[in-house]
Amino acid sequence: MDYTQLGRSGLSVSRLCLGTMNFGPETSEADSHAIMDRAHEHGINFFDTANVYGWRRGEGITEQIIGRWFASGGGRRERTVLATKVYGVMGDWPNETKLSALNIQRACEGSLRRLQTDYIDLYQMHHVDRATPWEEIWEAMSVLRQQGKIIYVGSSNFAGWHLVAAHEAARRWHITGLVSEQSIYNLLTRWVELEVLPAARHYGIGLIPYSPLHGGLLSGVLRKQREGGGSRSVTGSSAATLEANRDRIEAYEKLCADLGEDPANVGLAWLLHQHGVTAPIIGPRTIAQLDSSLRAIAITLDAEVLARLGEQFPLPAPGGAQPAPEAYAW
């Protein structure tokens, strides 16, 4: 396994991050524990979760599964860089969501209890809270750091200007501020390259891409359909996206076949080649899926292949593959 620093921090994390959103709803607790054990065997030390995962309001099912795995001992907690999130709705009463100081404190205590740990390595804001001032948010995060309950703070689903606003507010408080941003990012969804990724690079904020294969559409979906395997994700909006991008995905799968690589691993490898990306989040439902994803670390895409992928999946902006504002203005 390769490791890198999380943004400008000194924290070393694996180049792949184990996403746990399937633990509970899709994957049994026993299988989830086995997947986490195998991740450690592969050297993956970076795990991502959220207080709302498990999708039963207020219960934090996924965090509970991880907590019982930690409680089984064997140095599991000590070898894990644990990331979880705050913002999502955890109850029916006011102040059980978003980023008020009250909810940040209560949500952190709830996550610590479910995770059966006394600290969170990376505490991430799951979304922007436009109603709470940054001074309140950073004061609450600073109190948690002083208490030893969290170590680093990250964000998720922020726009570029949100990263700037958050960082500059932290600067006024003379605190570290954000070290990571978790955004949707893949060959089919490259919007972060316009504003978010340039801002993250400027401030030393590591980008953690989620949905790196766009819900399975970049995992060889057309080949699987031809082979009769189908794909469980090609329904609803995913089916519409597939039809709208069928020619591009067909060309992509052909390119991957020419390279002799699985499309899922090429999609992950492309992200690993992007400057500023720390670790794409993989969300395996089985050990076999986890094992397969490790191949992405070893794939080197040369300049010609990267250029071809850029042509097949251009930035969705008039200026093509350019950062903002050149993507839409002179």
Tell me the H-state helices in the chain.
Answer: 29-41, 61-71, 101-115, 134-146, 160-173, 196-203, 221-226, 236-244, 246-259, 263-272, 287-293, 295-298, 303-312
Q: Which tokens is 5 given? A: 């620093």
Crossing angle of helices 246-259 and 263-272, in 10° steps, is 90
- Active-site residue 53, yes or no? yes
In a domain, 318, yes or no: no
Residue 64: inside a domain: yes
Flag whether 61 is in a domain. Answer: yes
Which residue is associated with the tokens 């004061």? 139
State the sign of the Cα–Cα–Cα–Cα dihedral 106, 110, 76, 296.
negative
Catalytic residue among 3, 53, 152, 252: 53
CATH no. for residue 186? Answer: 3.20.20.100
Residue from 239, 283, 291, 285 nearest 262 by CA: 291
58 lies in some domain: yes
Residue 268 inside a domain? The answer is yes
Residue 245 lies in a domain: no
The pLDDT assigned to 318 comes to: 75
The tokens for 114 are 């479910």
Q: Is residue 325 part of a domain?
A: no
On whether the CB atoms of residues 181 and 155 are closer than 8 A, the answer is yes
pLDDT for 325 equals 81
pLDDT of residue 229: 64
Domain that holds residue 33: 3-219+262-301
Mean pLDDT by 10 residues, the chain (330 residues): 97 98 97 98 98 94 98 97 97 96 98 98 97 97 98 97 97 96 97 96 98 95 84 72 94 97 98 98 96 97 97 84 80
The predicted-structure confidence for 189-207, as pLDDT tens digits, reads as follows 999 999 999 999 999 999 9
244 in a structural domain = no
Measure the CA–CA gap between 237 and 243, rounded to whole angstroms: 10
Q: How many separate domains does the chain show?
A: 1
